[in-house]
């Protein structure tokens, strides 16, 4: 009896050779198809500015060798006569392989989309890297969780019972670690909503500093005096946060007082003098200057202007120039600044 007619594991030699030939042809065809598609979409990506062809190239490069092998073995198994156990197992293995390959494709697609999004927004959004990393992590976690559940369902595991058990256990765990979970969700809120990002100067209550790190449980800030401040994310979001990095203009209000002996005509000229001084400064926009009140020892003026550069050092340089110019102008006009004084009048009664 020849090899082709001999039976091996319930199949003739000819059937085994046919199955091997089909498997080899399918593997070779899959690899050739992958190479052809990669060359085609790579050429399109080089000639066009759209991102669809780049996405296709990125996904195709994530096609694993086991995917072609599994499809080839499945096609070969259709030629052979398998035992009931193998006939039942082979489709499940094939479905598992397909699910894994879809997971790898989805994983690469998510990474590609989020990286493109981050690069597009990075110039305007310094927190883009942190946001993208968090979104990629969440997206990949959901994707592989779905793949795992479908794989378990494919092998006959009752997902509904499993999910119910996980739900009850999850409630117990959530109650035990609710503070940690609160900080975790607060961290996600900070990353997604971005009330502040790395490098921002923020004020929380009477504490202030530059944001150095946004973690899962805490946010760390470097204070002006040099020490590191550590805030719980949940507590931080429940506080009132002032973000000075987002300031576009700085509104300045300051006051000055002159003595009561100042003549009325000089009092009337003071708002115009101050306005001219402010308008001479660069990066300023004058708002108003008024004789505001009669104080205990001074005639009070209130001045308001805007600094169009939010930098604090720029503001202080401008305010210093304004103060020096006002001092010189008042000296020329003979206008005296007021300072706390008290005058006592003594009256002598007639006998």
Looking at the domain assignment, is residue 186 inside a domain? no
The CA distance from 148 to 99, in Å, is 9
Looking at the domain assignment, is residue 31 inside a domain? yes
Range of the domain at 258: 250-333
* Domains contained in the chain, number: 3
Nearest to 208 by CA among 248, 251, 245: 245
Nearest to 301 by CA among 332, 283, 322: 322
CB 288 within 8 A of CB 272: no
Same domain, 139 and 240: no
Enclosing H/E stretch for 287: strand 284-294
Which tokens belong to 62? 């994530």
Same domain, 262 and 225: no
The CA distance from 314 to 76, in Å, is 76
Same domain, 20 and 164: yes
The CA distance from 340 to 46, in Å, is 77
Looking at the domain assignment, is residue 188 inside a domain? no
Same domain, 147 and 271: no
CB 277 within 8 A of CB 329: yes
CB 49 within 8 A of CB 7: no
β-pairing, 201-204 vs 241-243, is antiparallel
Which tokens belong to 172? 């117990």
Q: Is the pLDDT of residue 275 over 90?
A: yes
Condensed to tens digits (0 to 9), the pLDDT of residues 286-324 reads 999 999 999 988 999 999 999 999 888 999 999 999 999
Q: Is the pLDDT of residue 2 over 90?
A: no
Nearest to 190 by CA among 218, 160, 210: 218
Neighbours of 257 (CB within 10 A): 20
Nearest to 300 by CA among 263, 267, 343: 267
Same domain, 11 and 49: yes
pLDDT band at 227 (very low <50, low <70, confident <90, very high): very high
Grouping H, G, I as helix, E, B as strand and the rest as coil, residue 295 is coil
What residue spans of 203-263 are helical by DSSP H?
Answer: 233-237
Same domain, 136 and 225: no
Higher pLDDT, residue 289 or 106: 289
Which tokens belong to 106? 């989805």
Condensed to tens digits (0 to 9), the pLDDT of residues 137-192 reads 777 888 888 888 888 877 777 767 656 655 655 555 555 455 666 777 777 777 77
Condensed to tens digits (0 to 9), the pLDDT of residues 14-69 reads 777 888 888 888 888 888 888 888 888 888 777 777 777 777 888 888 888 888 88
Looking at the domain assignment, is residue 240 inside a domain? yes
């Amino acid at each position: 009896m020849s090899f082709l007619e001999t039976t091996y594991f319930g199949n003739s030699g000819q059937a085994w050779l046919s199955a091997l030939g089909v498997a080899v042809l399918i593997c070779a065809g899959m690899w050739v198809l992958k190479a052809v598609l990669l060359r085609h979409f790579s050429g399109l990506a080089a000639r066009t500015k759209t991102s669809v062809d780049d996405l296709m190239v990125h996904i195709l490069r994530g096609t694993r060798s086991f995917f072609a092998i599994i499809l080839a073995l499945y096609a070969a198994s259709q030629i052979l006569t398998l035992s009931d156990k193998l006939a039942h197992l082979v489709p499940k293995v094939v479905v598992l392989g397909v699910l894994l390959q879809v997971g790898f494709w989805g994983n690469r697609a998510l990474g590609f989309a989020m990286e493109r999004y981050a690069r597009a927004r990075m110039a305007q959004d310094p927190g883009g890297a942190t946001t993208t990393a968090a979104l990629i992590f969440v997206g990949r976690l959901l994707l592989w969780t779905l793949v795992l559940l479908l794989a378990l369902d494919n092998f006959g595991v009752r997902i509904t019972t499993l999910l119910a058990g996980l739900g009850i256990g999850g409630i117990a765990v959530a109650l035990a670690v609710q503070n940690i979970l609160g900080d975790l969700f607060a961290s996600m809120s900070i990353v997604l909503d971005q009330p502040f990002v790395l490098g921002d100067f923020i004020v929380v209550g009477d504490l202030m500093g530059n944001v150095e790190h946004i973690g899962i449980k805490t946010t760390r800030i470097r204070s002006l005096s040099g020490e590191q401040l550590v805030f719980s994310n949940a507590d931080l979001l429940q506080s009132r946060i002032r973000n000075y990095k987002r300031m576009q203009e700085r509104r300045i209000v300051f006051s000055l007082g002159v003595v009561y002996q100042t003549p009325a005509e000089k009092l009337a000229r003071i708002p115009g003098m101050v306005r001219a001084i402010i308008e001479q400064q660069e990066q300023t926009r004058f708002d108003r200057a008024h004789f505001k009140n009669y104080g205990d020892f001074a005639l009070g003026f209130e001045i308001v202007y805007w600094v169009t550069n939010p930098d604090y050092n720029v503001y202080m340089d401008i305010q210093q120039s304004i103060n020096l110019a006002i001092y010189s102008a008042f000296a020329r006009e003979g206008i005296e600044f007021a300072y706390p004084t008290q005058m006592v009048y003594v009256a002598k009664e007639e006998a």
